[in-house]
């Protein structure tokens, strides 16, 4: 029987082919312990729901200025419609009332320029939504991927989902930064998951400067996964000024190869015991892009990078070759 647990979800994306095998549905959890300067989903970072406004879609109809909008929108000094920041309290400190006001405000906008990132969903509601795509999972070898934000911050409802989906015979993948406390991943090691693991850097100082996080915590969790023989896919965001240099990439690839060797050793033991196959280690180099700049603007936050930055294809191909020489299967993009 499913426990009555809720999660805070900011999106459910269908028909993905990049975050696990086959056709997948991705459940995006809200809340993240890191603050990566290049974050592609800045609306995922805060735990609570947030109001976003995209002026490119605004038709200046003034619907959002009606009293029903609870004063969340206004005209700024230049006469343009904008969100009142910080978002005002709506008669109560109760987050549920504030969220209701956000939803009401977004509902007044006929052009969908206003939206709310984050909504409460029960485990049962999430399962029902995902299973609408069951036929695609069965026919493609796909399944469900948990992403974010950081899904493991909501480990209670997440564990219920993993248990339910695997019980239904569905493939599950976990996209995670692993910047979570010791022991958090332990209950999930009982399930056959694909772990899509962010591997951003191997220098603790640079990691903290770029993400605000504790690298030793991340590495402890990575090594625990490897020691368990988990199927791991390494995801390396290649970011200008952060890790787009030979020293940083060399350290990342060497560390990934070491983890892959640990995992393969455990998988080999399991294979001898239970007939399981050893999984070839895979690493994706994910080149930087600035497609998230519009999300920062919609949140009223400055985008931290100059527009037009990129990482050269030659750099990516050079390190893809270096990774292959270490025994890793390398992809560019993904």
Q: Return the closest-CA partner of residue 182 out of 226, 148, 235, 223.
A: 223
Kindly compute the dihedral angle of the four CA atoms of residues 292, 298, 300, 302, in this order, to the nearest 10 degrees: 20
Going along the chain from its start, the domains and CATH numbers come out as 6-46+121-332 (3.20.20.70), 50-117 (3.30.70.20)
Confidence of residue 228 (pLDDT cuts 50, 70, 90): very high
User: pTM of this prediction?
Assistant: 0.89
Strand partners, 147: 28
Other CB atoms within a 10 A radius of the CB of residue 92 amount to: 10
Mean pLDDT of 76-86: 90
Least trusted range by pLDDT, from 45-49, 86-90, 212-216, 283-287: 86-90
d(CA 91, CA 40): 33
1-57 pLDDT, tens digit per residue, is 334 579 999 999 999 888 888 999 999 999 999 999 999 999 999 999 999 999 999
49-76 pLDDT, tens digit per residue, is 999 999 999 999 999 999 988 899 999 9
Distance set, CA 235 to CA 90, 195, 219 (Å): 41, 10, 14
d(CA 64, CA 74): 8
Strand partners, 315: none
156-183 pLDDT, tens digit per residue, is 999 999 999 999 999 999 999 999 998 9
The pLDDT value given to residue 275: 43
What whole-number percentage of the chain has pLDDT above 70?
A: 91
């Amino acid at each position: 029987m499913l426990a009555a647990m809720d999660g805070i979800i900011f999106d459910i994306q269908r028909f993905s082919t990049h975050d696990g095998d086959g056709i997948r549905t991705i459940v995006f959890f809200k809340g993240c312990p890191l603050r990566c300067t290049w974050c592609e989903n800045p609306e995922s970072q805060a735990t609570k729901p947030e109001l976003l406004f995209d002026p490119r879609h605004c038709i200046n109809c003034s619907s959002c200025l009606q009293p029903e909008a609870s004063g969340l929108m206004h005209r700024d000094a230049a006469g343009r419609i904008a969100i009142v920041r910080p978002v005002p309290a709506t008669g109560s400190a109760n987050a549920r009332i504030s969220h209701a006001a956000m939803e009401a405000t977004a509902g007044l906008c006929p052009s969908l320029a206003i939206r709310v990132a984050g909504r409460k969903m029960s485990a049962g509601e999430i399962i029902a939504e995902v299973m609408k795509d069951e036929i695609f999972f069965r026919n493609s070898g796909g399944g469900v991927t948990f992403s974010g934000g950081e899904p493991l911050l909501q480990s209670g409802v997440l564990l219920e989902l993993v248990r339910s989906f695997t019980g239904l015979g569905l493939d599950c993948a976990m996209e995670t930064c692993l910047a979570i406390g010791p022991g958090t991943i332990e209950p999930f090691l009982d399930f056959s998951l694909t772990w899509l693991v962010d591997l951003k850097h191997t220098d603790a100082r640079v990691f903290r400067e770029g993400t605000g996080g504790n690298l030793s915590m991340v590495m402890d969790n990575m090594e625990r996964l490897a020691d368990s023989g988990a199927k791991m896919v390494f995801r390396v965001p290649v970011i200008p000024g952060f890790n787009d240099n030979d020293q940083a990439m060399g350290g990342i690839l060497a560390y990934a190869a070491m983890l892959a060797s640990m995992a393969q050793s455990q998988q080999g033991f399991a294979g001898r015991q239970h007939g399981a196959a050893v999984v070839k280690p895979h690493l994706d180099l994910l080149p930087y892009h600035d497609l998230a700049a519009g999300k920062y603007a919609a949140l009223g936050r400055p985008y931290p990078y100059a527009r037009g930055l990129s990482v050269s294809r030659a750099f990516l191909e050079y390190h893809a070759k270096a990774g292959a020489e270490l025994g890793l299967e390398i992809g560019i993009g993904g």
